[in-house]
Structure 1
Amino acid sequence: MLGLLINEMEQKEIEYLIKRELEELLLDLEDSRIDSVTKKSMRKRYQKLFQLLLRVANREECLPYIPARNI
């Protein structure tokens, strides 16, 4: 197990970066030009980033990013 000591401003910045990346992934997952193999990899990345978001953000801020069944 690893630990990380950050201040509140750094925590908010990490939270912001993760949210932006999740939003980009959601947009790309809706793109029909992207093949299914790539989308599968993107779904795995989304899951990992969401787990990170749960660690740095409160529950209310995570609600809009809860993965849907079709992700």
Structure 2
Amino acid sequence: MLGLMIDDRERQELEYLLKREMDEILFDMKDARIDHIVKRAMDERYKILFSLFRRFASHKECLKYMKNSSAKKEKY
């Protein structure tokens, strides 16, 4: 296990970068021109980024980025 010491400003920056990257992946996943093999790799990357994001973000923020979450289904 590795540790990481960061201050609040750095945490906010990491959270921001993770959000933007996950948004890009979610946007690209909707593109029908992208091959399913590439989409599978993008999905794996998303899972890794989301697991990092969970360490920084609040529960409410995590719910926004959960794929196929029951919370989203209940909301809509």
Question: Which range, TM-score by smaller chain?
Answer: over 0.9
Q: In structure 1, list runs of 5 or more residues that go unmatched.
A: none
Q: How many residues align?
A: 69
Q: Compute the TM-score of the two structures, normalised by the length of structure 1.
A: 0.93
Larger RCO: 1 or 2 (CA < 8 Å, sep 6+): 1
Distance 2:46 2:35 in 1: 16
Distance 2:61 2:36 in 1: 29
Name 1:54's counterpart in structure 2.
Answer: 54
Name 1:37's counterpart in structure 2.
Answer: 37
Q: Which runs of 4+ in 1 moved over 4 A?
A: none
Once the two structures are superposed, residues 8-60 of structure 1 have per-residue CA deviations (whole angstroms, 9 ceiling, x without a partner) of: 00000000000000000000000000000000000000011000000011111
Over the aligned positions, Cα root-mean-square deviation in angstroms equals: 1.0
Distance 1:38 1:56 in 2: 27
Distance 1:13 1:7 in 2: 10
Q: Compute the TM-score of the two structures, normalised by the length of structure 2.
A: 0.87
How far off is 1:61 after superposition? Answer: 1.1
Distance 1:34 1:66 in 2: 22
Q: In structure 2, list runs of 5 or more residues that go unmatched.
A: 70-76
| Paired-residue identity, % | 48
